[in-house]
Amino acid sequence: MSWSEWKYPKWLDETSVRTGKKWLDARREDDGAEGLWRIHDSLYDLNEWIESHPGGRFWIETTKGTDITEAFESHHLSDNPEAILPKFFAKKATGPRNSPFTFNKDGFYHTLKAKVKNHLANVKNGPATPTKIISDTLAGTTIILSILAGYYCNYLIGIAAAVFLTGTVITGHNFFHQRNNWRMYYFNLSLMSARDWRISHALSHHLYPNTIHDLEVSMFEPFFQWLPKPNKTLFARYVSWLYAPIVYTLIYHTQYISRALTNPDGMYEFVPLVIPGAMMIIGGVNLLASFVMWNFILFTSSFIFGCIGLNAAHHHPEIFHDGDVPRADRDWGLFQLDAVRDRLEIKGILPLVITLFGDHSLHHLFPTLDHCHLVELYPILEDTCKEFGYDFKFTTISDLVQGQFLQLARNKSKLKQETN
């Protein structure tokens, strides 16, 4: 581990099924929140705020009993939450935070956040019109192509439907970071769950990327082992390059099976049936043919999703992974930049940004901000990086794809201490 004071999550050794629920249970045991909500060194009773929370009850209800400092700091681009927080103060926490990260007022993240808040003062919260148009167009095209693929039993059209489904699913990721809205359920068309990804992605991965507390790292083990563990086997380091396409293809279905067996998502489990339902009702395709084509589309889309998502921004030998020596400055914003690398080819091009996890550094720093607004923040980010002596770099798509496989092979920690 890179930080000796950060408690090792025991559940990593106790079970092979790693879920958001178990991640939250471990946080409740280790965070010292005493059944309340911890922010910095104080405990708050937010029970009366659950129904009133502008972002929806999910975020408050789900995080009860945990330290929500990182989420509180990064999810709000307004002074209002900090202003009303004292109303819910319960008492001071009795021990240190179970996190190595800081949010000092004169530190990198707070300096950047203050500039961004000022820049976005007149920007309306919530989904932006351009992203809504793109996502709705992708979803509509997915349905049309799926109907045509089923009607003509044409697998080339099925591949096209899978491409558009993947784009639709990834745009859904933009929306589930925000307050509850119906477009977030575009994500569920994949068999995956926006509810579960709000935990594994928004609360775990986004706040602690590339660490042992990042579910998007641990959930893929033992098949993919990105952390530089010295005991990593040759099989895990190199044979994983060969079976990677199989893992990519099974992402959708394995997440569905795992969820169905452990924590079903109620009526939202029926969302994926929109596609085969459209094939049968609109296209007149019989049940068996619809089922076969639908699963072909899902498997193909899952493969594309894996190719995009697992090679998008995080895994490369030059990017920080738990086990490497961390920088001396524990500022959370600097840590985020250490664990992310952006692709220059898609910078600021919204249709690509919203479908390829683009402008990823800024998205990690301000996850609830609609992707439409990220590009205008680059000058602010770059100026703040210069102010703090941080060398903000871009890379290329091909470099990240190659780097992801090299990271799987890496079994030695980076011992050089970063100074920028």
The CA distances from residue 51 to 58, 63, 412, in Å, are: 9, 14, 48
Would residue 1 count as lying in a domain? Answer: no
Would residue 378 count as lying in a domain? Answer: yes
Domain of 263 in residue numbering reads as: 103-420
Can you give the pLDDT at residue 123? 87
Question: Within this chain, do residues 287 and 375 fall inside the same structural domain, yes or no?
Answer: yes
Question: Within this chain, do residues 148 and 179 fall inside the same structural domain, yes or no?
Answer: yes
- Cα–Cα distance measured from residue 183 to residue 181, given in angstroms and rounded to the nearest whole number: 6
Question: Within this chain, do residues 247 and 374 fall inside the same structural domain, yes or no?
Answer: yes
Question: Within this chain, do residues 407 and 282 fall inside the same structural domain, yes or no?
Answer: yes
The predicted model scores a pTM of 0.94
Question: Within this chain, do residues 176 and 46 fall inside the same structural domain, yes or no?
Answer: no
Looking at the structure of the chain, the number of domains it has is 2
Q: Which amino acid is at 412?
A: K
Can you give the pLDDT at residue 198? 97
Would residue 2 count as lying in a domain? Answer: no
- Cα–Cα distance measured from residue 74 to residue 38, given in angstroms and rounded to the nearest whole number: 15
- Cα–Cα distance measured from residue 81 to residue 62, given in angstroms and rounded to the nearest whole number: 18
Q: Is 197 helix (H, G, I), strand (E, B) or coil?
A: helix
Can you give the pLDDT at residue 419? 45
Residues in Cβ contact with 288 at an 8 Å cutoff, skipping those fewer than 6 apart:
none
CATH of the domain at 50: 3.10.120.10
Q: Is 29 helix (H, G, I), strand (E, B) or coil?
A: helix
Instruction: Give alpha helix (H) positions in 210-349.
Output: 215-218, 234, 240-262, 274-281, 287-309, 332-338
The H-or-E segment that residue 42 falls in is: strand 42-44
Q: Is 92 helix (H, G, I), strand (E, B) or coil?
A: strand
Would residue 301 count as lying in a domain? Answer: yes
The CA distances from residue 406 to 221, 317, 339, 403, 416, in Å, are: 16, 7, 16, 5, 19
**Cβ-contact 189, 301 below 8 angstroms:** no
Would residue 86 count as lying in a domain? Answer: yes
The CA distances from residue 283 to 103, 105, 113, 153, 374, in Å, are: 55, 59, 50, 11, 40
> What is the side-by-side strand order in the sheet with 89-92?
37-39, 42-44, 89-92
- Cα–Cα distance measured from residue 114 to residue 97, given in angstroms and rounded to the nearest whole number: 24
Would residue 246 count as lying in a domain? Answer: yes
Question: Within this chain, do residues 247 and 331 fall inside the same structural domain, yes or no?
Answer: yes
**Cβ-contact 22, 11 below 8 angstroms:** yes
Would residue 129 count as lying in a domain? Answer: yes
- Cα–Cα distance measured from residue 43 to residue 37, given in angstroms and rounded to the nearest whole number: 6
The H-or-E segment that residue 343 falls in is: strand 342-343
CA dihedral 345, 347, 349, 350 (to 10 degrees): 130
Question: Within this chain, do residues 296 and 328 fall inside the same structural domain, yes or no?
Answer: yes
Would residue 214 count as lying in a domain? Answer: yes
Q: Is 76 helix (H, G, I), strand (E, B) or coil?
A: coil
Domain boundary among 52, 80, 102: 102
Question: Within this chain, do residues 389 and 287 fall inside the same structural domain, yes or no?
Answer: yes
Question: Within this chain, do residues 159 and 289 fall inside the same structural domain, yes or no?
Answer: yes
Question: Within this chain, do residues 91 and 136 fall inside the same structural domain, yes or no?
Answer: no
- Cα–Cα distance measured from residue 180 to residue 169, given in angstroms and rounded to the nearest whole number: 16
Question: Within this chain, do residues 88 and 188 fall inside the same structural domain, yes or no?
Answer: no
Tens of each residue's pLDDT in the chain, 420 residues: 788 889 998 778 866 678 888 999 999 999 999 999 999 999 999 999 999 999 999 999 999 999 999 999 999 998 999 999 999 999 999 999 999 999 999 999 999 999 999 999 888 888 999 999 999 999 999 999 999 999 999 999 999 999 999 999 999 999 999 999 999 999 999 999 999 999 999 999 999 999 999 999 999 999 999 999 999 999 999 999 999 999 999 999 999 999 999 899 999 999 999 999 999 999 999 999 999 999 999 999 999 999 999 999 999 999 999 999 999 999 999 999 999 999 999 999 999 999 999 999 999 999 999 999 999 999 999 999 999 999 999 999 999 999 999 999 999 998 764 545
Question: Within this chain, do residues 348 and 242 fall inside the same structural domain, yes or no?
Answer: yes
**Cβ-contact 294, 283 below 8 angstroms:** no
Domain boundary among 87, 102, 117: 102
Domain boundary among 39, 70, 102: 102
- Cα–Cα distance measured from residue 27 to residue 19, given in angstroms and rounded to the nearest whole number: 13
